[in-house]
Amino acid sequence: MSTAAERIESLESPSEQLTYTATAMVKALVDHPDEVHIKAIVGESVVLLELHVHAEDIGKVIGKKGQHAGALRTLLTAAAGKFKMQVRFEIVDPHFAERSVRLSSSRKARSAGSRHARS
């Protein structure tokens, strides 16, 4: 019987490892784990992960004041750092296909946002 770490290491690419990690974490949060789907879009040094969940589970993934989503972003950013990559984590709202909750792992974006908030 293999451990989770061995299963992750057996995956071919960094994007597969990040997708597997994100999927496992999100499935632990939701009531409909069979409806968790993550699409990875790979760039040169960036991976965009688009998360699709059951409509009833979107609040569980985001959490109060975005705490779950922020924690997911932090862990995925740490994992992506192992590959010297950046990760963008996007939660797609099932009610509004064109609207999504963008959760960027960019420190520059977060620090710029906090500067504006203090002004």
| Per-domain boundaries in the chain | 4-112
Phi-psi region of 71 (alpha: psi -120 to 50; beta: other; left: phi over 0): alpha
Structural contact between residues 29 and 60, judged by C-beta atoms closer than 8 angstroms: yes
CA 97 from chain centre, in angstroms, equals 17
CB count, 10 Å around CB of 88? 21
pLDDT at 53: 94
Is domain 4-112 in CATH 3.30.300.20, yes or no? yes
Whether the per-residue pLDDT at 119 is higher than 50: the answer is no
Q: What is the mean pLDDT of the chain?
A: 80
Whether the per-residue pLDDT at 118 is higher than 50: the answer is no
pLDDT at 108: 42
Query: What value does the mean pLDDT take over residues 101-109?
Result: 45
Q: 0.75 cut: is pTM over it?
A: no
32, 54, 57, 25: CA torsion to nearest 10:
60
pLDDT at 45: 87
If DSSP codes are grouped into helix, strand and coil, which group holds residue 73? helix
